[in-house]
Structure 1
Amino acid sequence: MAWMPQMIRRFLEKPGSVDLTRFQAVVTEAARLEAEVESRAELTPPEGHTVGTAEFCAVVREAARRTLGERPYDVQLMGMLALLDGNVAEMATGEGKTLSGALAAAGFALRGRRVHVISVNDYLARRDAEWMGPLYESLGLTVGWIGESSTPEERRAAYSRDVTYAAVSELGFDVLRDRLRTDPADLLVPAPEVALVDEADSVLVDEARVPLILAGAADPGQAAPEMAALVRRLSRGYHFEIDDEGRNVFLTPKGTDTVEKALGIDLYDHPGTVTEVNLALHAHALLTRDVDYIVRDGRVHLINPSRGRVALLQRWPDGLQAAVEAKERLAPSETGEILDSITIQGLLTRYPEICGMTGTAVAVGDQLREFYDLKVAVIPPNRPCVRADEPDRIFADSDDKVRAIVEEIAAQHATGRPILVGTLDVAESERLDLRLRARGLTPVVLNAKNDAEEAAIIARAGARGAITVSTQMAGRGTDIRLGGVGTTDDQSERLIKDLGGLYVIGTGRHDSSRLDDQLRGRSGRQGDPGGSVFFVSGADELLTAYAPDLALPAADPDGVVRHPHGGWTVGHAQRVAEGVHLEIHRNTWRYTRLLERQRAQLLEQRDRILHGDAGGRALAAACPERYAELCASAGEAAVERAARQIVLYHLDRCWTEHLAHMADVREGIHLRALGRLNPLDEFNREAVPAYRRLLDEIGRRSKETFETVDVSRDLADQGLGRPTATWTYLVQDNPFGSEWDRVLSRVASALKGRRPRR
């Protein structure tokens, strides 16, 4: 009956969790082989068929010890086996995910599979590739990495390695560029085989709906500054309203009249102007400086909400980006026509096999299963976590909360205990810094404005007396060592442990419980002592946006809400927020999935043209006399080359136009709900015939061009020139899926509220 507790435990766990029994058995057997393997003078790299066996575990453990000076713990080997089995491994902070991932990547490569280890940024991709390089070399494998500054030659070399580390954005941009190549020799990215995703919850869930964009440069529009000046004169509650969740803004009838008088038009007779006004209003009312973005070096830089860092290369859709720049009275940045795009979810589902690792996977287990068919393997810590997580301290108003935070920091600092304060945005981190300095304390602030100093700040965050005020970035991917990095003995570390370890203070609950858990996880690594507490007030955006109808229980005279219902209310608001974000993710994927399928079908056709003579055969069948005439005068090889370029040009051009058309459809599709129609069904009803027209148009345009082209001359001079410059960026939210940034979704409300005209 020994199996009964295990079965009961699995029944009680969250859906999708993985039974670790078989992994434990393999690791136990590997321990018995360890002494024998350690005695070998030379290690023979394991063969592919042995990957995942006890012998394999013993060999790679010894390889890591010899090359890196690190002997993998049993739990690290279990994490490796969970990854090799195609799961997401949840491993706590400080448990050595990087090494587990490298061992798993080596295992896949030894099986003959090409592995892309996908990271969240260039720094981690390069650090991990270089750090784990000696391990791969000892196993007879090659490793490379790709960053934003990598040249095409460096990228091609990195992709040729057995294991390639890359930031998810760089991998996606290379895929997009390859989709527009006209010469097979120029292709960079090999066929996808295995994706091993670091920080899997962030990449697979938080950023899943983010589209990566390849654009052809164009001139920016001129309407944004005029509209920004107009909406500055509008007042909330009189000229416009914001919905309960703060995700949409729309004009009131009075606001509509004011705008129409200012512009001298009947607004809703000019759909383009409606869009421009709503974009300006969205930028004015819903996007906040030092919360959603910062202004640095004369440019708007978005802030990644789940990491707190500047989102490099990331921007909103062009119209909204221009509206924010106009709001801040900045010169408009480069804009352009979207040539192609792919969501991060679409990028990763190309891989036949996906696995990943993170510290917080169980909370998104249902989404990992729903969107990627992945299960979560919860790997136990090497040493039990002894961190003391206190209940939330809840206050009636924000002033009481901030005073209590300052008092708590001062009291803990007086003992010498290091403190990490996690704030919700840049503005809050700077306000708290001022309050602490007024109290005579000297915190170090880490936020999107000084993210270049992150590594140095985190290295000192565990030192005695350190006060680090940070946004959600907080050094994820880097451990905070007690006593601080650079300590020559263990005395400082012992002292900090005696003081209780690193103390984490959250100044408010995030929309996602995972972000709270990640902040807590900065403390208590590898069995170290530590503590954490979150401060919450009834005025926090989480409660006002997601539980506006639920009042907190009455506070005690000191301003603290101690009734148990207070904690329930906070938890309820967070669950509602998580539900909203999940529905946005689902909605995005519903609208994006059809376009992804259409693009996949078109890419199959494109590959046949690029790598063969499908283009020539198609035009020979469509224009037999012309084909024969050109072959006689220029030669069959020249005609085939020209036919390939003609069909590829029109295929890419028609796809660009298809994307623009479907973006326009998506803009106004929710208005059809007024007629009791399902917007998603209506979108699909538009998309399917539009795609058929796209295929017909490719054939028609290709035939028309082939009838008149001079194959002996440069085709670019005959109307087939491609963009002289292309550039890449990420869009903050998916233009085809996320409802909150669709500025026309509330036009219906404005229309219904307008008074009839005489």
Structure 2
Amino acid sequence: MLGALAKKIFGSSNDRRVKGYRPRVAEINALEPQLAALSDADLQARTVMLKAELAAGKTLDDILVPAFATVREAAKRVLGQRHFDVQLIGGMVLHESGIAEMRTGEGKTLVATLPVYLNALSGLGVHVVTVNDYLASRDAEWMGRVYRFLGLTVGTIVHGLDDEQRKAAYACDITYGTNNEFGFDYLRDNMKYELSQLAQRGHNFAIVDEVDSILIDEARTPLIISGPVDDRSELYVAVDALMPHLEREHYDLDEKQRTVSLTESGNEFIEDLLRGADLLKEGDLYDAHNVSLVHHVNQALRAHTLFTLDKDYIVKNDEVVIIDEFTGRMMQGRRYSEGLHQALEAKERVTIQPENQTLASITFQNYFRLYTKLAGMTGTASTEADEFAEIYKLEVVDIPTNKEVERVDEDDEVYRTVGEKYDGIIAEIEKAHARHQPILVGTGSIEKSQHLAEMLVKAGFKPLDYSDLNALTDVYAAAREGRVTKRFAVLNARFHEQEAYIVAEAGVPGAITIATNMAGRGTDIKLGGNVEMRVEKELAGIPEGPDRDVKIEAIKAEIAEYRAKVLASGEPADPAAGRKKALPGGLYIIGTERHESRRIDNQLRGRSGRQGDPGRSKFYLSLQDDLMRIFGSDRMDGMLTRLGLEQGEAIIHPWINKAIEKAQQKVEARNFDMRKNVLKYDNVMNDQRKVVFEQRRDFMGQESVRETVDEMRHGVVDDLVAVHVPENAYAEQWDVEGLRERVRDVLNLDVPVEDWAKEEGIADEEMRERLRQAADDAYAARTEKNTPDLMTYVEKQVLLQTLDHLWREHLVTLDHLRQVVGWRGVAQRDPLNEYKSEAFDLFNGLVGSLREQVTQQLSRIEIMYEDPASAEASFASPALPPMFAQHLDPVTGENEMAESGTGSAGGAGPAYGYAAQAMATDTAMLERDPTDATTWGRVARNEPCPCGSGKKYKHCHGTFAV
């Protein structure tokens, strides 16, 4: 109570922080008249002036006010947009390494120009991170006009660029790109062999758009570069065939934790099945030599019990395609690891692709913590504020809206059954549609989108194809004439090609749009429709000129008329029905269930009420929904039955909302704990990764690693002597024969160790010195024979390639250790401490193996070239293994993993052109019919349009494909 009173008197901590920015906002506003009077040339000259001030000793904070004022004036001239005062505040929050929470439609893209320009003046580079290539390209082009006007360079990192293009983009003052591309470039840079080949030039400052999606939703999904291993598809099929024989009592299933494990009876039953199928050759299932079989059984069990077709994945073109739980979109090319994807392929009887071995990996949590300064912006971050603070040291600041939010958020309606809930939703859609109110219906999965679409069809509605201009013309005519069209559009993974246009037109009078999540769509829903989208769609073939201008004005007038109709489409008061107040027009959000994360619900709600527009939102729930069922809806069902709740009736009360919010908070807390736990384990690997990558770069930067090679050789000698000639032991106790064999094997030396051991008074120290000297002499002779210059180059390549090989093996070992270490808890030992201890021992083993293998290889190396120049040229680009890029794009579902061939470190290299190369080898792509768009498959945005127009796809049929 005292806290609430203090908040009313003094304001919240967020209010006080926002208020603290107001004086600087006033200073920026005071400069506006002065800058408005400058010519373009004088305004552009301010960039040089501000850079000079920095060079003279001023800090970025010192020049914030003049820099922000400069950007605002440039945006007015170039874009015709002026930053609002609240946008200036948002820019300051970003500059101070905070997260700016700004509602949908408040102009986050424009806000970013302020801190980006200011920090780019340092010359150290600024990265702007988006969730997909479309938004990266769009924002770089759109906001890039401001930066280029002010004399800064802008680059874009998207799929399909080669090394030189990437280096050029990173060399720019400002670089736009996706989280995945930035992370992959970091990993790929740490697999190269020359500093001159590196694409990135450091991690100075990054602004992450949709920061909650990238740093929270994707925190548990690492970026992985992997390579293929042996084919084991027959084993997957054989194990899968046994799964249908399992009964429910054979396994324990936990829906909350999404885990499943065999019971004791299940273990015995599956062992009998495996023996019958001749898969379990000897011993019990959990004997050490059967560990691979256990892995296959567990993954097949997960595939059959935890993963559902058309909810978690779909089958398309003989592939199992993952559906992202947060966005409902296809993760084309993304694959589950550890054989789970192969188990799903066996379950669905599609072609089983080979497993992959991890070559390099990093989580987004650890990648983004590489930046000296990190900031983020989103519409929904407050619910995860604690996690941002604890993991990333980022404070969330709620930025006030430019205009007050006029949306009415109604209490949830809770029905007893799913059927009753959907009946209520259909009835509400029909009522709102009859008033010409645009409706956005949010669903939790593709399956539920399709189910709702089928119910609408049964109710007399028809699906709308946004690629059909005739159908659109009818919709617009109906909007003008006040007719009810009973048409709807579905926006989910199956129809994402039409996404931008569907979103843009979701505000037309009477529009019904069913969406599987609305986060990060990149297009605002404007009441009445979107002028730009309609101009692009309807006037594509009309050249610039008076006719086109007239048509554009007509479209603008029509959209203004539609907007007025949408604003007037609210529901009047109905005292007889118990509704005393009228409900507003505008976009009507209908949620078909509550997501386990409140952020996702808020993202859906936030689509309505942009920039002060009126709007309305309501969620429809049933006691059979996953969230309600998992959190004990049985008791509530019994209570409602006793209260006499009739068929088709709903219970509506603020207390229900609070109970649901608490359930969501429990799930969010559990997910946070899981992400923290993942981070604790990944931090162990990350510490080792940083050591390896830093050491690797150090080797690459040295002219010669001869000193390191010599130290390694001496270390190997010391290890050999320590093992076979114990300190203070008698000569009779020495393992002379073993030492001689190991010296021959590792150092390629045949020395009279037995004779040395017989000498009077010889000790381990003298033995060590003699072996060192013999090894040094032999290596010096080998160096002279192969030429010192060439050996200098070979030493570096052998060192780097051996380190890479051992690091890959180490990653696999750590991954296996992580899977089994959890069982140590049964013995009352902390699994994390066990993991840290064993990982440390394994890393020490890696260091020892590196020393020995490098020494062993260099002691035998023979250069078979007569011309040193040609030999060096041959070594200049070591071949890398075939590689796959595996990662999760939380928004678009673009091709996230494709084979890229062996490549070379100096050329396009692994995974650089993977989208284009995947297309080039796809038979379906090679058999495109120019007249039939369904045969085109996925077309890269910069590829020539398959229709034969000669234009790029993005300027032709791909205009509205995101």
* SS of match in other structure, 1:268: coil
For residues 166 and 731 of structure 1, what CA distance do their matches in structure 2 show?
Answer: 15
Residues 294, 449 of structure 1: 8 Å contact kept? no
For residues 551 and 676 of structure 1, what CA distance do their matches in structure 2 show?
Answer: 39
Residues 331, 888 of structure 2: 8 Å contact kept? no
* SS of match in other structure, 2:517: coil
How many Å apart are 1:24 and its aligned residue? Answer: 1.5
For residues 313 and 115 of structure 2, what CA distance do their matches in structure 1 show?
Answer: 37
1:644 aligns with 2:644: no
Which of 481, 488, 491 is matched with 2:556 structurally?
A: 488
Residues 71, 113 of structure 2: 8 Å contact kept? no
Identify the residue that residue 658 of structure 1 maps to in structure 2. Answer: 810
Which of 618, 624, 634 is matched with 1:539 structurally?
A: 624
1:462 aligns with 2:507: yes
How many Å apart are 1:312 and its aligned residue? Answer: 4.4
How many Å apart are 1:586 and its aligned residue? Answer: 0.5
1:189 aligns with 2:207: no
Residues 71, 114 of structure 2: 8 Å contact kept? yes
Residues 125, 167 of structure 1: 8 Å contact kept? yes
* SS of match in other structure, 2:705: helix
Post-superposition Cα deviations, 1:308-329, rounded to whole Å, max 9, x if no partner, equal 2223442211411111111111
1:232 aligns with 2:244: yes
Identify the residue that residue 334 of structure 2 maps to in structure 1. Answer: 314
How many Å apart are 1:381 and its aligned residue? Answer: 0.5
Identify the residue that residue 752 of structure 1 maps to in structure 2. Answer: none
Report which structure shows greater RCO (CA 8 Å, sep ≥6): 1
Give the stretch that moved more between structures: 292-301 or 171-180. 292-301
Identify the residue that residue 243 of structure 1 maps to in structure 2. Answer: 254
**Quick one: structure 1 residues 463 and 105, their matched pair in 2 at CA, closer, same or farther if it must change by over 3 Å?**
same
Identify the residue that residue 420 of structure 1 maps to in structure 2. Answer: 440
How many Å apart are 1:35 and its aligned residue? Answer: 1.8
Post-superposition Cα deviations, 1:138-181, rounded to whole Å, max 9, x if no partner, equal 11101011111223232121111110011111111111111110
Which of 194, 207, 228 is matched with 1:217 structurally?
A: 228
Residues 620, 627 of structure 1: 8 Å contact kept? no
User: What pairs up with 1:164-563 in 2 under 5 angstroms?
Assistant: 164-222=175-233, 223-235=235-247, 237-245=248-256, 247-264=258-275, 265=280, 266-269=284-287, 270-441=290-461, 442-473=487-518, 476-486=521-531, 487-489=555-557, 490-499=560-569, 500-547=585-632, 551-552=636-637, 553-554=639-640, 556-557=645-646, 558-562=648-652
**Quick one: structure 1 residues 11 and 33, their matched pair in 2 at CA, closer, same or farther if it must change by over 3 Å?**
closer
Post-superposition Cα deviations, 1:629-653, rounded to whole Å, max 9, x if no partner, equal 2331222221111111111111111
Identify the residue that residue 725 of structure 1 maps to in structure 2. Answer: 882
For 1:407, give the aligned amino acid. Answer: A
Post-superposition Cα deviations, 1:333-371, rounded to whole Å, max 9, x if no partner, equal 243221110111111111110011111111111111101
User: What pairs up with 1:65-214 in 2 under 5 angstroms?
Assistant: 65-214=76-225
Identify the residue that residue 610 of structure 1 maps to in structure 2. Answer: 700
How many Å apart are 1:228 and its aligned residue? Answer: 1.6
* SS of match in other structure, 1:427: helix
Residues 118, 166 of structure 1: 8 Å contact kept? yes
Identify the residue that residue 31 of structure 2 maps to in structure 1. Answer: 33
TM-score, normalization by structure 2: 0.73
Residues 458, 475 of structure 1: 8 Å contact kept? no
For residues 353 and 201 of structure 1, what CA distance do their matches in structure 2 show?
Answer: 17
Which of 634, 655, 672 is matched with 2:824 structurally?
A: 672
How many Å apart are 1:112 and its aligned residue? Answer: 2.7
For residues 75 and 21 of structure 1, what CA distance do their matches in structure 2 show?
Answer: 11
Residues 436, 565 of structure 2: 8 Å contact kept? no
How many Å apart are 1:5 and its aligned residue? Answer: 10
**Quick one: structure 1 residues 716 and 33, their matched pair in 2 at CA, closer, same or farther if it must change by over 3 Å?**
closer
For residues 279 and 149 of structure 1, what CA distance do their matches in structure 2 show?
Answer: 33
How many Å apart are 1:547 and its aligned residue? Answer: 4.2
For residues 829 and 783 of structure 2, what CA distance do their matches in structure 1 show?
Answer: 54
Identify the residue that residue 22 of structure 1 maps to in structure 2. Answer: 20
Post-superposition Cα deviations, 1:700-729, rounded to whole Å, max 9, x if no partner, equal 1111111111144679999x9854311211
**Quick one: structure 1 residues 9 and 322, their matched pair in 2 at CA, closer, same or farther if it must change by over 3 Å?**
farther
Identify the residue that residue 858 of structure 2 maps to in structure 1. Answer: 706
For 2:168, give the aligned amino acid. Answer: A
* SS of match in other structure, 1:82: helix
**Quick one: structure 1 residues 362 and 655, their matched pair in 2 at CA, closer, same or farther if it must change by over 3 Å?**
same
1:586 aligns with 2:676: yes
How many Å apart are 1:550 and its aligned residue? Answer: 5.3
TM-score, normalization by structure 1: 0.92
Residues 213, 731 of structure 1: 8 Å contact kept? no
**Quick one: structure 1 residues 535 and 151, their matched pair in 2 at CA, closer, same or farther if it must change by over 3 Å?**
same
Identify the residue that residue 725 of structure 2 maps to in structure 1. Answer: none
Please list every run of 5 or more consecutive structure 2 residues that lacks an aligned counterpart in the other structure.
55-59, 462-486, 532-554, 570-584, 714-774, 866-870, 891-962
**Quick one: structure 1 residues 475 and 467, their matched pair in 2 at CA, closer, same or farther if it must change by over 3 Å?**
farther
Identify the residue that residue 682 of structure 1 maps to in structure 2. Answer: 834
Residues 716, 722 of structure 1: 8 Å contact kept? no
Residues 232, 354 of structure 2: 8 Å contact kept? no
For residues 676 and 92 of structure 2, what CA distance do their matches in structure 1 show?
Answer: 30
For residues 56 and 107 of structure 1, what CA distance do their matches in structure 2 show?
Answer: 6
* SS of match in other structure, 1:20: helix
**What is the aligned-residue identity percentage?**
36
Post-superposition Cα deviations, 1:63-112, rounded to whole Å, max 9, x if no partner, equal 00111111111111111111111111111100000011122211110133
Residues 455, 475 of structure 1: 8 Å contact kept? no
Give 1 or 2 for the bigger CA radius of gyration.
Answer: 2
Residues 518, 603 of structure 2: 8 Å contact kept? no
Residues 547, 572 of structure 1: 8 Å contact kept? no
For residues 696 and 136 of structure 2, what CA distance do their matches in structure 1 show?
Answer: 31
How many Å apart are 1:506 and its aligned residue? Answer: 0.5
Identify the residue that residue 736 of structure 1 maps to in structure 2. Answer: none
For 1:37, give the aligned amino acid. Answer: L
Residues 547, 573 of structure 1: 8 Å contact kept? no
Identify the residue that residue 748 of structure 2 maps to in structure 1. Answer: none
Residues 163, 197 of structure 2: 8 Å contact kept? no
For residues 386 and 74 of structure 1, what CA distance do their matches in structure 2 show?
Answer: 20
How many Å apart are 1:414 and its aligned residue? Answer: 0.8
Please list every run of 5 or more consecutive structure 1 residues that lacks an aligned counterpart in the other structure.
734-758
* SS of match in other structure, 1:307: coil
For 1:462, give the aligned amino acid. Answer: G
User: What pairs up with 1:47-62 in 2 under 5 angstroms?
Assistant: 47-48=50-51, 49=54, 53-62=64-73
Residues 417, 501 of structure 1: 8 Å contact kept? yes
How many Å apart are 1:6 and its aligned residue? Answer: 9.5
Identify the residue that residue 764 of structure 2 maps to in structure 1. Answer: none
